[in-house]
Amino acid sequence: MMNRTTETGTRASVHIQPIKMKKVTFTSTPFINPQQKYQTMKEQYKDLLNKNSLTKEDLDGFRSLVDGLAAETDWYEEGLFKLRKLNKKHRKLQKSETKSPHETLEDLLISQKLVDFINIGASGRGWVVARLDEEEIRNLTEEEVKKQVNEKITLLDEHLSLLKAHDRAEGFMSRLAELDISFESDLLAGKVAEQLLLEDLSKVNTLSDLHKLIASVKKDIEETGIVDSTFEEKTFEQFHQTAKNE
């Protein structure tokens, strides 16, 4: 305590309070070379891309690495591109986990209620499925799947129409091959083809219809005895030739 004399001559006591300093905490962020940040992002991307599973935390962590790069630079744009690829992989893995492990591609398409696909019959569905990329189809939207399936159905219809309009031996076997139809022997193939040219194919509307007709023709040939056939080697060669005007 310190005393001093006032102007009136009396003494007064003055209390001097100690000055309290606020506690200040200083923090610092270590400098990281931009090149090092970029390399870390690339290495993390490679690790995540090779993983069999991805979590939201993985993606959030990678996003933080990308955000740490200088905006509007090539490195930042590359990071965004890689992030999009990882997001796509994540969605793909999620779909793979939710689908039934025993669900065939045909079952998947039927479950999507693709009426045109369902109505082409078992043989037609098998032909279409064989020409689809299963991995790609499983990762498309339903609208995109429908578009691809309808394109294959249209192609199948075109092949059937060309077969029905084919009225000569030349190139006939090629028409059948386009529809994945094969035979146990060349002799049987030629006899069936020979008979099909005599049949009325106007009622063949689906690949299943054609399979049924061929099964009926084969049965007749087997019952008659193929060895008694008047089928000649020259005729067989004609069936396998590609017509010059096709």
Q: Identify whether the C-beta of residue 161 lies closer than 8 Å to the C-beta of residue 186.
A: no
Domain identity same for 171 and 231: yes
Q: Above 50 in pLDDT, residue 243?
A: no
229: left (phi over 0), alpha (psi -120 to 50) or beta: beta
Residue 188: which residues within 8 A CB-CB, separation 6 or more?
A: 218, 221, 226
Cα distance between residue 1 and residue 246, in whole Å: 119
Cα distance between residue 102 and residue 75, in whole Å: 43
Q: Which residue, of 51, 75, 98, is where some domain finishes?
A: 98
Domain identity same for 91 and 138: no
pLDDT (tens digit per residue) in 130-175: 999 988 898 888 899 999 999 999 999 999 999 998 888 778 888 8
Sign of CA dihedral 188, 193, 196, 201: positive
Domain identity same for 45 and 73: yes
Secondary structure (H, E, C), 198-236: CCCHHHCCCHHHHHHHHHHHHHHHHHHCHHHCCCCHHHH
**How much is the pLDDT for 233?**
47
Residue 51 in any domain: the answer is yes
Residue 209 in any domain: the answer is yes
Domain identity same for 179 and 136: no
Cα distance between residue 127 and residue 118, in whole Å: 12
Task: Select the highest-mean-pLDDT range: 24-38, 62-76, 229-243.
Answer: 62-76
Confidence of residue 246 (pLDDT cuts 50, 70, 90): very low
Residue 1 in any domain: the answer is no
Question: At what angle are helices 34-49 and 56-67 packed, to 10 degrees?
Answer: 160
Q: Which residue, of 160, 179, 205, is where some domain finishes?
A: 160
Give the amino acid at 108.
L
* Alpha carbon distances (Å) from 206 to 107, 118, 235: 20, 12, 28
Q: Identify whether the C-beta of residue 206 lies closer than 8 Å to the C-beta of residue 121.
A: yes
* Overall average pLDDT of the 49-70 stretch: 88
Cα distance between residue 152 and residue 133, in whole Å: 12
Secondary structure (H, E, C), 42-107: HHHHHHHHCCCCCCHHHHHHHHHHHHCCCCCCHHHHHHHHHHHHHHHHHHHHHHHHHCCCCCCHHH
Domain identity same for 156 and 179: no
**Among residues 141, 159, 149, 166, which one has the least CA distance to residue 206?**
159
Residue 54 in any domain: the answer is yes
Residue 66 in any domain: the answer is yes
Residue 153 in any domain: the answer is yes
Enclosing domain of residue 233:
166-240
Residue 175 in any domain: the answer is yes
Domain identity same for 114 and 68: no
**How much is the pLDDT for 107?**
92
pTM of the model: 0.53
Cα distance between residue 218 and residue 177, in whole Å: 17
Domain identity same for 232 and 176: yes
Cα distance between residue 226 and residue 111, in whole Å: 44
Q: Which residue, of 63, 98, 133, is where some domain finishes?
A: 98
Domain identity same for 81 and 142: no
Give the SS3 label for residue 12: strand
Residue 207 tokens, joined:
């690949």
Domain identity same for 41 and 74: yes
Residue 191 in any domain: the answer is yes
Domain identity same for 147 and 191: no
Structural domains counted in the chain? 3
pLDDT (tens digit per residue) in 17-50: 655 555 655 454 555 688 888 899 999 999 998 8
